[in-house]
Amino acid sequence: GQKIHPTQKPVQLLQQLISLFTDPGEVVIDPCCGSGSTIIAAKKSGRTGYGFEIKKEFCNLAREWLEREDAQPVLF
């Protein structure tokens, strides 16, 4: 994915962490989701992800990325 947020983490790294600390089907919540990479990683790991972001710019860019990835929408 593209760089959206200054502290954005790689989706592959987040998938490893999500797989380590959650079970398939569980829920992952990211209260400051920035780019949405955690939500994409959750979806790719068989989890449901919910994210929250207060900055409209990041919110819009994350939503676009999620739509391109065919991931579930982030709650804003």
Percent of the chain surpassing pLDDT 70: 91
Distance CA 74, CA 76 (A): 6
Q: What is the mean pLDDT of residues 34-39?
A: 94
Of the pLDDT bands very low, low, confident and very high (cuts 50, 70, 90), residue 1 is: low
Distance CA 29, CA 26 (A): 10
Q: Report pTM.
A: 0.86
Q: Which of 72, 61, 69, 71 is nearest to 34 (CA)?
A: 61
Per-residue pLDDT at 45? 95
Between 2 and 76, the more confident residue is: 2
